[in-house]
Amino acid sequence: MNHRTLGRTGIQVSPLCLGTMMLGAWGNTDPGECGRIVATALDAGINMIDTADVYAFGESEEIVGRAIRSRRDEVVLATKFGGPMDDSPGRRGNSRRWIMRAVEDSLRRLGTDHIDLYQVHRPDPLTDVDETLSALTDLVRQGKVRAIGTSSFPAEEVVEAQWIAERRHRERFATEQLSYSILARHAEAAVLPVAERYDLGVLVWSPLNGGWLTGKYRRDAVPPADSRATRNADHFDFRAEDVRARKLDLVEKLEALAAEAGLSLIHLALGFVLSHRAVTAAVIGPRTLEQLKGQLGAEAVRLPPDVLDAIDALVPPGVNVSPDDVGHVPAPLTDPALRRR
């Protein structure tokens, strides 16, 4: 598997990154299969694993830690902090107080003395980004963290963080992890160009749009019982009738396009995000070993211009089929107190 440089870090990563949100109580509860998923990914040449403390509230990190214990040096290990770990207001967010506790918890669960990429899971409107960068800079200097990054930051906050790091001599964010797929192309308008301008490594989450781009959902058919659409219908657009109808129509057309190109729909979708010049790696999040095997090999896909043009004709650049596929909604849009005097 060919490798790509993660922004300016010099770290070499595979074009496919194993995402582990589905390992544990949120997805696959079989510890043996979870371990086989990690081992199979590593054996196939994937050298980057992405998790988060909030995934199954620490269980995903524990599964990853056990699975890589004898292979730690092979792995570029990434995790995230900031999501609510319980109902306590002190166990979430991007404050120095929580970061210093969260990193120790993640190191313990992962069974390692350092994290290769430590990412801010979402922006925190209650915390000055300089406070966050100051704490993360200390972690880098202590050797507990090798590089730092963000996830689902809007373009203006990516720029602000770069400016603050330069002016105040903080460690700079080296990566951005964002939502991007054929059906969710909002990042093309601003975040991807900004990431390219600052030479950030870009990791793409949900490149299969929550399972829509696997072909598992069909018109006039009940979603598979074990699918995310069944477990979380609201989140995966199955109760938004207009969005559901539009996605089902597009999936049929994309499947035909993939067949003409001699590809599976999954490989077409992964090949699409990997073809963007700013993207470093696609984060794949299989729940089963079978799902993982269906995604392996996509790093070798090279979509020709006519196929990319055909995709653009179906879903224009910058367009989201579902408005909910952004990944982060700024607080002023959800909290009336931030819009009114």
Residues taking part in catalysis: 55
Do the Cβ atoms of 99 and 132 come closer than 8 Å? yes
Could you tell me which of 163, 149, 154 has the C-alpha nearest to residue 189? 154
Do the Cβ atoms of 6 and 12 come closer than 8 Å? yes
Q: Within a 10 A sphere around the Cβ of 25, how many other Cβ atoms?
A: 11
Give the Cα-Cα-Cα angle 210, 216, 220 (nearest 5 degrees): 110
Do the Cβ atoms of 279 and 202 come closer than 8 Å? yes
Rounded to an integer, what distance in angstroms lies between the CA atom of residue 209 and that of residue 100?
33
Q: Look up tokens 């963080």; give the residue.
A: 161
